[in-house]
Amino acid sequence: MSQPKLQPVRGTHDLLGEDQRRHRHVVETARAVAGRYGFEEIATPIFEFTDVFKRTLGDTSDVVTKEMYSFTDRGGEEITLRPEGTAGVVRALISGGLAQDLPLKFFYAGPMFRYERPQKGRLRQFHQIGIELLGVAEPQADIEVIACGAHILQALGLAGSTSLEINTLGDGESRHAYRAALVQYFSGHRDRLSEDSRIRLERNPLRILDSKDEGDRRLIENAPRFSDYLNPLSRDFFARVLAGLDALGIAYTLNERLVRGLDYYCHTAFEFTTTALGAQGTVMAGGRYDGLVEMMGGPSIPGIGWGAGIERLGMLLAQAPEAARPIALVPAGAAAEARCLVLAEQLRKAGHRVDLFYRGNMGRRLKRADKVGARLALILGDDELAKGVVTVRDLASGQQQAIAEQALLEHLKPYL
């Protein structure tokens, strides 16, 4: 009996060809821009103790209750594949004793895992870039983090297809007052709320504002507005953030319904959105989380950051970066085969991308060179060996010339 054909697990995707080039371009661009802002790269494990995420995301969040990939390992430990990047970074701060080195600025890129219905730009194994700035309570941190995100989008050529939405969640006092107002309002409409939102009303009413249920959305339209419950300190903080964005020429839209439902979020919340991906419009989202480190068992350290989906950003690119074009070595005869093996290494050490084909006559090897997009073919046969030259053929024009071997590296410098 034949074995069943192996397939990738639903919601996973092999990265190769154009997809890989888009992915790499997003990561390399973001890494370079974040570096200019002083963010140092960090790579945390792709799995953590489950408690790392339960503490941060809350027992009532959809991620924890429905989407986490959790399992018990052979040692009996409860382990979870990371569903997002911030919790691992904060855990590293605490477990690594990094609080004495504040402020800390981290950039990360890597896979995340959520068991949800696969959709455009979001798989069960998806990839994110993100930054975290820890240890700065002043609004300058918010401005810099948003500016870095805007700069990355600009560097990717996406500034024109994305827009910034921003809101303030205020400080703890403002949030407490608003929460009480929301409870009073939604309690009067409990019978019209969805089942999920009735649960949220008891445990975390701000999450109702994130509901996608149509009935909930109609109630949300008339719900109290956060801006009516902000104290002067919170208003001043937000005003300074907006003034900083104005000074940098970063356009934004105020969105009072943009919230973060977890208690450790405060002050600035923001998203960069697009209309080019249908309903899945958020490509980068973040906010200030001054209570998170303390909630995870560390000292009271403010923080702010954002995460962005690499797949979604890659899909927005106008075109994929071109594949690197190699130089093809085309030997004719056993002696030329041996010489090309050495020549290929010399060219690679000089910085060239080289394809050395393994079989076939010269015609078939030249066709292969065309197929892989080679810029040049270096042809080496008995005549070339006898004369100490290499025939260099431009595969676009078909023109070729004989170049002395000792002059070859100099001749090929323009192709580096």
Q: Residue 58's pLDDT is what?
A: 63
Q: Residue 207's pLDDT is what?
A: 83
Q: Residue 3's pLDDT is what?
A: 73
Q: Residue 1's pLDDT is what?
A: 56
Q: Would you say 285 and 307 are in contact if contact means Cβ atoms under 8 Å apart?
A: yes
Q: Residue 59's pLDDT is what?
A: 57
CATH of domain 327-415: 3.40.50.800
- The dihedral formed by the CA atoms of 337, 343, 345 and 348, expressed in degrees to the nearest 10: -130
- For residue 48, the cross-strand partners are 80
Whether omega for the bond prior to residue 4 falls within 30 degrees of 0, making it cis, is no
Q: Residue 2's pLDDT is what?
A: 66
3-state secondary structure (DSSP) of residue 404: strand
Q: Residue 251's pLDDT is what?
A: 97
110 phi-psi bin (left φ>0, alpha ψ -120 to 50, beta other): left
Walking along the chain (416 residues) 10 residues at a time, the average pLDDT comes out as: 80 91 97 98 96 76 72 94 95 95 97 84 90 98 98 96 95 91 91 89 84 88 91 97 98 89 85 83 94 93 97 92 90 90 94 85 82 90 93 91 94 91
Q: Residue 345's pLDDT is what?
A: 95
Q: How many beta carbons lie within 10 A of that of residue 342, not counting itself?
A: 9
Q: Would you say 389 and 341 are in contact if contact means Cβ atoms under 8 Å apart?
A: no
Residues of the chain with CATH 3.40.50.800: 327-415
Q: Which of 379, 362, 147 shows the shortest CA–CA distance to 268?
A: 147
Q: Residue 131's pLDDT is what?
A: 98
Residues in the chain: 416
Q: Which of 144, 124, 126, 125 shows the shortest CA–CA distance to 134?
A: 144
Tokens of 200: 């949220």
- For residue 303, the cross-strand partners are 134
Cα 117 to chain centroid distance, Å, stands at 20
| Burial (Cβ within 10 Å: 0-12, 13-18, ≥19) of residue 60 | middle
Residues 6+ apart with CB under 8 A from 279: none
For the 17-171+231-316 domain, the top CATH level (class) is alpha beta
Q: Residue 367's pLDDT is what?
A: 84
3-state secondary structure (DSSP) of residue 164: strand
Q: Residue 63's pLDDT is what?
A: 61
Q: Residue 169's pLDDT is what?
A: 92
Q: Residue 73's pLDDT is what?
A: 93
d(CA 192, CA 186): 9
Residues 6+ apart with CB under 8 A from 91: 44, 48, 52, 296
Tokens of 398: 């078909």
What does pTM read for this prediction? 0.89
C-alpha torsion sign, points 152, 156, 157, 160: negative
- The dihedral formed by the CA atoms of 49, 53, 56 and 62, expressed in degrees to the nearest 10: -160
Q: Residue 368's pLDDT is what?
A: 87
Residues of the chain with CATH 3.30.930.10: 17-171+231-316
